[in-house]
Amino acid sequence: MILVTPLSVLKKYWQYPSFRGNQEEVIKAVLAKKDTLAIMPTGGGKSICYQVPAMMASGLCLVVTPLIALMKDQVSNLKGRGIFSLAIHSGMKFHEVKRTLENAVHGNFKFLYVSPERLETSLFLEYLPSININLIAVDEAHCISQWGYDFRPPYLRIAAIREILSGVPIIAVTASATSEVQNDIIEKLSFRKGHELFLQTYERPNLSYSVFVPPSKENKLLSILEKVPGSSIVYCKSRKTTREVANLLRLNNINSDFYHAGLSTEERNRKQEEWIQNKTRVICCTNAFGMGIDKPDVRTVIHFDIPEALEYYYQEAGRVGRDGLKSYAVLLYHLSEITNFEEKVALRFPDIKTVKNIYNLLCNFLQLPAGKGEGLLFDFEISEFVERNQVNPILAVNTLKILEQEEILQFNEQFFSPATVEFITAKSSLEDFKVSFPQYSPIITGLLRSYEGILDQPAYIDEFLLARFIHTSKEDVLQKLKELHNYKIIDYTPRKDQPQIYFPKNRVRTDELFINQQNIAKRKKAYVERLEKMVEYADQKEVCRSVFINSYFTGERGKPCGICDVCLSKKQKNLGAKEFESVEKILSESVAVTTDEIHQRTGIPIDKILTVIQFLKDEEEIIFDSFGKISKRN
């Protein structure tokens, strides 16, 4: 008998030779049926911590995640490993959700991914007791905290699911959470006695953090990318800035592209794939980019604007250097960005009168009368809304987020719903139709060959892959799918990739709209505190960047990294100007030297020589030959 162990499961399905960090300890806690909170840095392999134990037990794992795109990627990745998974998210039709839940009850599936708002629906609750669930996994667990940086109210109802699934352990995972948010997660998810907390250090030994306040951000950005070769991400505050920065880089012969949530799904996928394959060197993007991407060879992550919280900064900067090689996280900012924070707070938390006014404008824009709307989902083009109503776009988005946190509506900026096809005619009638209308035969045959089981149940399809498969244009496929729908041969729902607004309850009259001002005031206070801590990180020059970050999240200082701008500056202060010049002069000579030779000639201590060498190396002013000898670059 072959003993099934976490490592054997890892090797069989993921082909990894060993676990990373404390993954194995987390998995053992889950297998011991302990409620578990695991906080791991971006790229730390959080999903492995619930996927491996779920594979070791009968039944399936219920995964709660707000990220529809990540759901889609995870289901696809698991399928590629021979692990069958399901997903339920907003935008799916009633019969699609029902069929998925029936598959969860009766099929041989190991994972069911669910968006948090779906947990509350009567249909889901009806099927839940019949599903053999072995584990509840809560991804992006920080979303449960009202005082965290990404609060989502439906997360608060996850604990109610636990009452139905008594005895089923829960694992909550996130990349970043302060001690206050950690306590909130444990409390709100009703962790049982004896629960486990796993907290990895936030230190990244290969990552050099630095902050610059340059006269010209553009020139500094070009200088960094010229000095540090390799793949890069440049985070920008707005969609417009992503385009402008990408154009600037291209004008300076740096291969770059831009990315933001306003692009079509096809465009986003193409741009992302070209960057992953190193066809594009630099991707200039908003924070819509990066989630779920594991590209190990990113050498620089540069923030062109200061983020609103260290949580955002750490997650985004953490996408650099996952291969363990020396990498750089650089923050560029102007003092004007800090002085404008008061304006930013006002836009982030408008007064109640403004909130009610925008709610009224929104309902009128969607032509939704008072007393109607419960359960309705609307396509929503925010640019059209702000233009028609002359509303500040940032103010509009933030107001929608307040209305979402007050559970008045749900706003999804990056909604994506794949196309679905279901054959609604009998097989015999389908053959007759192909004879009578031969122009549709290729696309019908293509659907039947590409999507197994499509005659018996709805299938998610990719219109563009289908077009490639049957050697025609995507426009032709889209047209023929619509025509087959009209002939009642198939039920076809085109894919959607535009923002959506969902109303969980009917529209109320504006004067009857209740907003909990006390909760908003607390969230505003927490937001201001996060802004202030982000400014402190950028502005201070005394504490190692890595120590500052580790202290913020864990309360523990940790050890100085030795390679951030603060650490290097301190080393240089301990180094006399004459000592620096002496080392640099020897390195400028035509003959390459070793550190020992420099020490013998100057008498300067080795540690000070290494400080000079590290500085000149970071500035790319020196080169090393195959024997390890050093000389100044010509």
Tell me which residue has tokens 């009168």: 353
137 pLDDT more than 70: yes
Per-residue pLDDT tens over the stretch 21-42: 889 999 999 999 999 999 987 7
65 pLDDT more than 80: yes
Q: What is the mean pLDDT of residues 490-507?
A: 82
64 pLDDT band, cuts 50/70/90, is very high
Q: How far apart are CA 171 and CA 20, in angstroms?
A: 18
Q: What is the mean pLDDT of residues 108-135?
A: 90
Q: What pLDDT is recorded for position 292? A: 66
Q: How far apart are CA 20 and CA 49, in angstroms?
A: 10
Q: What is the DSSP letter of 219?
A: H
Q: Give the type of residue at 38.
A: A
Q: What pLDDT is recorded for position 416? A: 56
Tokens in use for 424? Answer: 């609604």
Q: What pLDDT is recorded for position 2? A: 47
Pairing of β 85-88 and β 111-114: parallel
The answer to whether the Cα torsion of 336, 339, 345, 346 is positive or negative is negative
Q: What pLDDT is recorded for position 1? A: 37
Q: Which of 115-119, 412-416, 458-462, 536-540 has the lowest mean pLDDT?
A: 412-416
Could you give the 3-state DSSP secondary structure of residue 304? coil
Per-residue pLDDT tens over the stretch 567-611: 888 877 777 778 888 888 888 887 888 888 888 888 888 878 888
Q: Which residues contact 41 (CB under 8 A, 6 or more apart)?
A: 175, 176, 200, 202, 204, 314, 318
Q: What pLDDT is recorded for position 127? A: 92
Closest by CA to 625, choosing from 584, 599, 591, 596, is 591
Cβ atoms within 10 Å of 214's Cβ, excluding its own: 13
Mean pLDDT for the chain overall:
88
Q: Which residues contact 550 (CB under 8 A, 6 or more apart)?
A: 201, 202, 203, 556, 557, 558
Q: What long-range pairs does 359-368 form, CB within 8 A, spacing at least 24?
A: 359/399, 359/403, 359/408, 359/510, 359/513, 360/510, 361/385, 361/389, 361/391, 362/400, 362/501, 363/507, 365/389, 366/501, 368/503, 368/507
Q: Which pTM does this prediction carry? A: 0.74
Closest by CA to 303, choosing from 228, 230, 210, is 210
Percent of the chain with pLDDT over 90: 45
Q: Which of 336-340, 483-487, 545-549 has the lowest mean pLDDT?
A: 336-340
Q: How far apart are CA 286 and CA 301, in angstroms?
A: 12
Identify the residue with better confidence: 193 or 341.
193
Closest by CA to 624, choosing from 592, 583, 584, is 592
Identify the residue with better confidence: 455 or 138.
138
φ, ψ (nearest 5 deg) of residue 285: -150, 165
Q: What is the mean pLDDT of residues 616-624?
A: 78
Q: Give the type of residue at 276.
A: I
Closest by CA to 112, choosing from 90, 133, 139, is 133
Tokens in use for 155? Answer: 């997360």
Beta bridge partners of 198: 38
Q: How far apart are CA 549 and CA 558, in angstroms?
A: 10
Closest by CA to 413, choosing from 394, 392, 387, is 394
Q: How far apart are CA 466 and CA 477, in angstroms?
A: 8
CA 563 to chain centre: 27
Could you give the 3-state DSSP secondary structure of residue 417? strand
Q: What pLDDT is recorded for position 33? A: 94
Per-residue pLDDT tens over the stretch 295-330: 889 999 999 999 989 999 998 998 999 888 999 999
50 pLDDT more than 50: yes
91 pLDDT band, cuts 50/70/90, is low
Identify the residue with better confidence: 83 or 614.
83
Q: How far apart are CA 511 and CA 360, in angstroms?
A: 10
Q: Which of 177-181, 221-225, 276-280 has the lowest mean pLDDT?
A: 177-181
Per-residue pLDDT tens over the stretch 156-174: 889 889 988 988 999 999 9
- Reported in sequence order, the residue ranges of 23-177 that DSSP labels E, i.e. its strands, are 36-39, 60-64, 85-88, 111-114, 133-138, 170-174
Per-residue pLDDT tens over the stretch 355-393: 999 999 999 999 999 999 988 888 888 888 988 999 888
Beta bridge partners of 378: 501
Query: Are the CB atoms for 620 and 584 separated by under 8 Å?
Result: no
Helix, strand, coil content of the chain in percent (nearest 5): 50, 15, 35
Query: Are the CB atoms for 387 and 393 separated by under 8 Å?
Result: no
* DSSP letters for 578-620: HHHHHHHHHHTSSS-B-HHHHHHHH---HHHHHHHHHHHHHTT
Tell me which residue has tokens 């005619």: 425
Q: What is the mean pLDDT of residues 70-80?
A: 83
* DSSP letters for 59-95: SEEEEE-S-HHHHHHHHHHHHHTT--EEEE-TT--HH
Closest by CA to 168, choosing from 64, 285, 290, is 64
Q: How far apart are CA 471 and CA 264, in angstroms?
A: 23
